[in-house]
């Protein structure tokens, strides 16, 4: 696990996380169109709970850590692409 997660590390991870979201969910848009601080649910990308489950599975495989459905931090983790990238940066083992 990484210990020193800087804003620069998170910023560098944003395009990769955007591409991951696009490919995992087969969205018809470019990763660059995803606003880093826009909500993933509702007004932002409009994802639903099934989308998040699919995304969590892909993240687990790619980065080597589990995102559990019973984690009370999931609402915070999946708030935006930026919060998701920060969580990945902090937890990744690959």
Residue 69 sits in a domain of what CATH number? Answer: 1.10.1200.10
Q: Is residue 80 part of a domain?
A: yes
Is the CB of residue 84 less than 8 Å from the CB of residue 47? Answer: no
Q: Is residue 83 part of a domain?
A: yes
Q: Is residue 1 part of a domain?
A: no
Q: Is residue 33 part of a domain?
A: no
Number of domains, the chain: 1
Q: Is residue 84 part of a domain?
A: yes
* Structure tokens, 9: 């590390």
63: domain range? 7-26+38-91
Which spans in the chain are helix H?
7-25, 49-63, 74-77, 81-91
pTM of this prediction? 0.91
Which residues face 71 on adjacent strands? Answer: none
pLDDT digits (tens, 9 = 90+) for 45-68: 999 989 999 999 999 999 999 998
Q: Residue 1 has what pLDDT?
A: 43
Q: Is residue 77 part of a domain?
A: yes
């Amino acid at each position: 696990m990484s210990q020193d997660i800087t804003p620069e590390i998170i910023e560098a991870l944003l395009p990769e996380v955007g591409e991951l979201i696009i490919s995992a969910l087969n969205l018809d848009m470019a990763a660059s169109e995803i606003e880093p601080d826009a909500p993933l649910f509702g007004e932002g990308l409009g994802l639903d709970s099934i989308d998040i489950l699919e995304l969590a599975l892909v993240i687990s495989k790619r980065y080597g850590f589990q995102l559990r459905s019973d984690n009370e931090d999931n609402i915070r983790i999946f708030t935006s692409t930026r919060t998701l990238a920060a969580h990945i940066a902090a937890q990744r083992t690959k």
